[in-house]
Amino acid sequence: MRHRIVIAPLGLPSEPAAEERCAELLLRCGADLGRVFEADPERLGPFANHLAQIRELREGSLHVLAVMCQSLPLARMTATRQALEARIPSLAKAAWVIFADPSREPSCLEEIASEGTLNGAVWEAPEWKTPEGQRYLFLIPRLPRHVESDLSVRIRKLTQPESSKSGRVLRPIDGARPAATPTLPEIPALKSA
């Protein structure tokens, strides 16, 4: 498993229990908790400038797990991501995670469900997609153990481009090109009399 540096542009949870639970889930996602960059939400510009100084991050050679621990207001969260990706384009390939704690933000589940789409129940760590197309892995503190054990797989899927509607790709055999006017073999049962 690749270990990912962690950026937390809106900070990490301040309560010890929530911070510990967030760290547990991030570890399951493949986070390197020895390399965490946490920001003061009011100082996004200096934070982005600091991150932009890291050559490997700018070039996209680092694997990144970006975690949003304050989901409300949603507009601030999505604007924060847009601003960071505008300043550091390689962050568009990062794995973006929301750690939403309904005990700290009571209306977060309703707001997330009303904006964008969740591809499953909140206790299944679904992907949340905003109307603008941003994709996040949505985590809550109380996840079943079998879901926790699958988080690194979900992160890998999240960092892959979305698949098209058809998973089937037709390729020519041995470099052959398709004919301009394809012909079908004659099938005796279909011949007209």
pLDDT at 42: 87
The CATH number of domain 4-162 is 1.10.238: no
What is the rounded distance in angstroms from the CA atom of residue 166 to the CA atom of residue 189? Answer: 32
Mean pLDDT of 73-82: 94
Rounded to two decimals, what is the model's pTM? 0.81
Where is 32: in which H helix or E strand? strand 31-38
Per residue in 79-93, pLDDT (tens digit) is 999 999 999 999 999
Of residues 6 and 169, more confidently modeled: 6
pLDDT at 41: 84
CB 66 within 8 A of CB 96: yes
| Token code pair at residue 191 | 């011949």
Q: Which residue, chain included where needed, has tokens 């699958």?
A: 150
Q: Which residue, chain included where needed, has tokens 């398709």?
A: 178
pLDDT at 129: 95
Q: Which residue, chain included where needed, has tokens 């992907």?
A: 127
Of residues 140 and 71, more confidently modeled: 140
Domain boundaries, the chain: 4-162
- Cα→Cα distances 99→80, 150, 160, 185, 191, Å: 15, 16, 21, 58, 64
pLDDT at 70: 87
CB 66 within 8 A of CB 97: yes
Mean pLDDT of 17-27: 96
pLDDT at 165: 45
Q: How confident is the model at residue 142 (pLDDT cuts 50, 70, 90)?
A: very high
Q: How confident is the model at residue 71 (pLDDT cuts 50, 70, 90)?
A: confident
Per residue in 94-141, pLDDT (tens digit) is 999 999 998 889 899 999 989 999 999 999 999 999 999 999 999 999
Of residues 133 and 185, more confidently modeled: 133
